[in-house]
Amino acid sequence: MTKRAILFALTVCAMLCCSFPLFAQQLTITGTVRAEDGKSPLNGVTVSVKNGNRTTQTGTDGKYSIVASIGQTLQFSFVGYALQEVEVGKKSVINITMSQQNESLNDVVVVGYGTQRRANLTGSVTTVNVNRTLKSRPITDLARGLQGAVPGLTITTPSGDIGTNPQIRLRGMFGSLNGPGAIPLILVDNVEFPDLRLLNPDDIESISVLKDAASTSLYGTRGAWGVILITTRTAKLGGDRSAISYSNNFSWNKPTITPKVAPIVEGTEMMLKANQRANPTTNEFNVLGLYYSQATLEKMKEWQSKYGGQDLGNDMVMGRDFDLVGTKLFFYRPWDPMKMYMREYTPQQSHNINFSGTSGKTGFTLGLGYLGQKGVLKVNPDEFQRFNATLGVTSQLADWFTARGKVVMSRAKRTVPYLFSSDVYDPWYYITRWPAFYPYGTYEGKPFRSSITEVEQASMIPQKDNMSRISLGGTFKLIKGLTVDLDYTYHNANYNELQTGGTVSAYNFWAYTGLNYSKYTSATYDRAVAIAARNERHALRGFATYTKKINDHSLKFILGTDAEKYEVYSQRSERRGLINEDFGEVNLATGDQYASSSHSHWATLGYVGRVNYAYKDKYLLEVNGRYDGSSSFPRDDQWAFFPSMSLGYLITEEKFMDFSKPILSSLKLRGSLGNVGNQSVGGNKFLRTMNSTSSGWFIGGANQLTFTNPPLVSSSLSWEKVQMLDIGADARLFNNTLGVTFDWYRRTTSDIISNAISVPSTLGTSAPVLNFAELRTTGWEVSVDWYKQFNNGLLLGVMGNVSDFKEVITKFANDTKDISSHYSGKTMGEIWGYTTDRFFTKDDFEQDGSGNLIMVNGKYVMKPGVAKQERWEEGAFFYGPGDIKYADLNKDGKIDIGTNTVSNPGDQHIIGNSTPRYQYALRLTAEFKGFDIGVFFQGVGKRDLWASGPVVIPGYRPGEGWYDHQLDYWTPERPDAYYPRPTDHINSNGTRNFLPQTKYLLNMAYTRLKVLNFGYKLPQKLIKRAHLNNVRVYVSGENLITWDHLRVPIDPEVDYTTAGLGDPNTFGRVYPYHKSFSAGIQISF
């Protein structure tokens, strides 16, 4: 015992530096693999050394050759045939006969607290084929790789920015009316891993997605919206062996679609029309000190005629490219900042190497990874780098005890230029914001004010993430059938950022002072800012498993407990007035100082129990229970019991189903019902907290600190309860070559914490929140797979899935059912708006004898029978020919909102829904004689979006740039145009021509060629001489083609709910999504 313990400890230390040589007697094993008739050779059977990296395939004659050590096990796998294992002895010839059986039912699936045969699963669990889904792709994180791979799993991204996290949701978008949405609990090696950016996809061994309450109940309070179980590479025991594998990927990324600013003449003409309509007596306008008029437009046309298409360099000439009249600047020359300052292709690379081996009863695995991404900027380019290391050791120290340990480390660094213009908007936003005459050049070698000038003079800001995780555990085999597992994990993550501001020198025309070259940034940007955050997680888990088989009865009992503590600290320090901009430290500034910090924590404790029962592997039963405690609730309401149960019936095992065997290989019916608690409702809702803030009142020269009134709180605030009903079926057909899985589910979230009562404003504080509201999610999922391997070695595969869900509020305190808030019966994501009738024409208005439109009180007079739209006429705006005419649905002669309630919405009605409906994916694969090809399509069948901002609403901000796709606007000569006549929409999408309506509702449905890859495995005869086991080269494309229905230049995958923090100005102007072209190699020794 002592010697083995010492060996285990020494191995952990030694593997951090190198691998050790392993020696064993090796043989060259040859043989022939035949079908169950004993005659037909099988071509393409995979022959591999179990727990090793050596692998080969049979030829057309069914023969194979592989090197293995005595005591190792050979595995023979072939789609549609039962897996066979044979231990290597002294014989050098091993012939195999394979039988067609339901291989998938014998698969082992990782579930809560252990594994389970797929045949005995009664819950809703989806496993991910890691090799097909994640390998041979230029993915930077797991979340992006899972898109489309699991039915019911929704992956959205706010932008294409490097080093950012997508959002993951399962079976719904909301789940509750509190918290971040239906975000599943993500566990890596059984402990939560909140930031998937820091996990190397190459380290992943298996992925299981648990969806229903019966499957997730053992994970308790934070598994209400499902659980994603990720297992990283684990050291294996058995035989003496060593193996090395290496893979890389080199990728070149290109934006999928970007907005294009309108050409200088056409764009300026639109700006003039919009501004002159709002200000009919004004002839000259400006945007940030850039003046333009009708005369300017003529100068632009003249410049285009003389110099268009010529390379004049970046330095501008006064009198040719611009004029200075007093302090007014008039620019005539067009600029294309995207072409000047953005890369057409951005490089990305990844490298991964893995060492694994076993010596005696100790095994190890060591994985190292690197990812490097370059951003789109040519000047001071942004960059993201990640380094990963994973070390795992397993050792059987005694017949009754196996110890294990794992260390996971990740270091990520994102480098971006300091943002002078805004703390929110990045340079990409600004270079797509302004009209084409915005000056990105220089005058006498000096730049004008622009986001690019600021980037060129900015310091680079390092944003560092460091994560380390240490896990120690062991398995005790106490008596036959009884094991006890104990595991402890410590997770630590740190974030650090140092911002160095300063000043920028340029011609600052924003100050309306003409050609004034100066330092223009305010004191708020001349600063050093230090940001730091640290979070710690302690997780302890222990459980006992007892299995017993009595004749045809199989029993499995699990009893355990787990505890988790989480704590997060953050602080921000700022000081203004840098002594030297090259040394951005807080203590190297002399101005005002600002500091803030935060600290939060929570803890959970749970006791779990599970019983599995199977009779003849035909009748299946699972019963679960969890008693949970959470610090998120008052002391008297911290604990709750959550039970669940599931049933399964493998009906094809019945004799009366024998007739179906030629077609129906297997059919399992299953169902589950259970309750889970949700604690993710926002902390401290039961506490009367007081928030501090600086008042802005100075007494004695000091800014006084004030505190808000504490709110009223409920004394009985408790869990939100989540009940899930799931009914499903798993079928295999046609000799197991075709598989179909179906699930229907209904999830009801009750006792949702919400405002349930109102209080008078004179009370001076807010009303207490109560467990009151209810939300119901109903959905279904279908997945299909078909694999067929032919005798000539050709392997074809098809995998597809489609899913849908709908979320409806069934209880909410809103008696009037005001549609601007939640109400009972509301479908989440619904969009209320108007039906677009058409453009107004001259015939809709009263005319005098000369055919001129009659005006009364500054507005055109509509003819009788034409519904009035007076509610939306304000200031200088009034409706006329070329404006939008809305449909008068209630026939009351006016367009309005009624009482803005469900019973009286005026002319509004539900015109769409932003929920992604009918999400689908299709994967096609083929393999033949070493060649392989894979095609993966992914899409959304129905999704609507009413968006705002300049890219989708012409004239949203008329002083900003108009876009090329908006040139199709109404004029008397072009009455069938797509957009109405140019108008100043005063930064709003809720007025004038762009009330939410059917015509300009965005159809976000799409189909995308997500992945196309082609690979080739070098023949064994060629690589054996180099002592290589496997070599595969491949090329791959990502997001190559998109089919959609959009007339605006946005990517249909954009998640408007998170893009730019919901700021409409950013919609369509976020960091671009990209398509990629990559190549790589995979080698194993």
**pLDDT mean values, one per 10 residues, the chain (1085 residues):** 44 40 65 79 81 75 85 79 81 83 60 76 88 84 88 86 84 86 88 86 90 86 86 79 89 92 94 88 88 95 94 95 95 94 92 90 92 91 93 92 94 91 73 92 95 91 94 94 95 94 92 90 85 95 94 94 93 91 88 89 92 94 92 82 94 90 91 86 65 68 72 75 94 91 96 76 71 93 91 89 96 92 94 97 94 91 94 88 96 95 96 95 93 95 92 86 94 95 78 92 96 91 82 93 94 66 73 91 89
Determine the 3-state secondary structure of 340 from DSSP. helix
Please give the CATH number for the structural domain made up of 2-103.
Answer: 2.60.40.1120
d(CA 949, CA 516): 32
Return the structure tokens found at 922.
Answer: 């299709």
Task: Domain ranges for the chain, please list them.
Answer: 2-103
What number of other Cβ atoms are within 10 A of residue 3's Cβ?
A: 8
Longest dimension (CA), the chain: 111
Identify whether the C-beta of residue 992 lies closer than 8 Å to the C-beta of residue 980.
Answer: no
Q: Which residues of 384-402 are buried (b: 16+ CB within 10 A; e: fewer)?
A: bbbbbbbbbbbbbbeeebb
Q: What is the pLDDT of residue 100?
A: 62
What number of other Cβ atoms are within 10 A of residue 453's Cβ?
A: 21
d(CA 7, CA 15): 12
* Unique residue bearing structure tokens 């009748």: 619
Determine the 3-state secondary structure of 660 from DSSP. helix
End-to-end CA distance of the chain: 34
Helix, strand, coil percentages for the chain (3-state, nearest 5): 15, 50, 40
Q: What is the pLDDT of residue 2?
A: 47
Query: Can you give the three-state secondary structure of 696-751, one letter per residue?
Result: EEEECCEEEEEECCCCCCCCCCCCEEEEEEEEEEEEEECCCCEEEEEEEEEEEEEE
d(CA 175, CA 821): 17
What number of other Cβ atoms are within 10 A of residue 89's Cβ?
A: 11
Which helix (DSSP H) or strand (DSSP E) does residue 298 occupy?
helix 294-307
Instruction: Indicate the residue type of 668.
Output: K
d(CA 317, CA 422): 30
* 287 contact partners, CB below 8 Å, separation of at least 6: 271, 434, 435, 959, 960
d(CA 162, CA 661): 52
Instruction: Indicate the residue type of 783.
Output: S
Q: What is the pLDDT of residue 534?
A: 95
Return the structure tokens found at 478.
Answer: 């106490």
Q: What angle do CA 950, 953, 954 make, to 5 degrees?
A: 80
Q: What angle do CA 1041, 1042, 1048 make, to 5 degrees?
A: 135
Please give the full DSSP string across 13-55, using - where no structure is assigned. HHTTT--------EEEEEEEEE-TTSSSB-SS-EEEETTSS-E
pTM of the model: 0.86
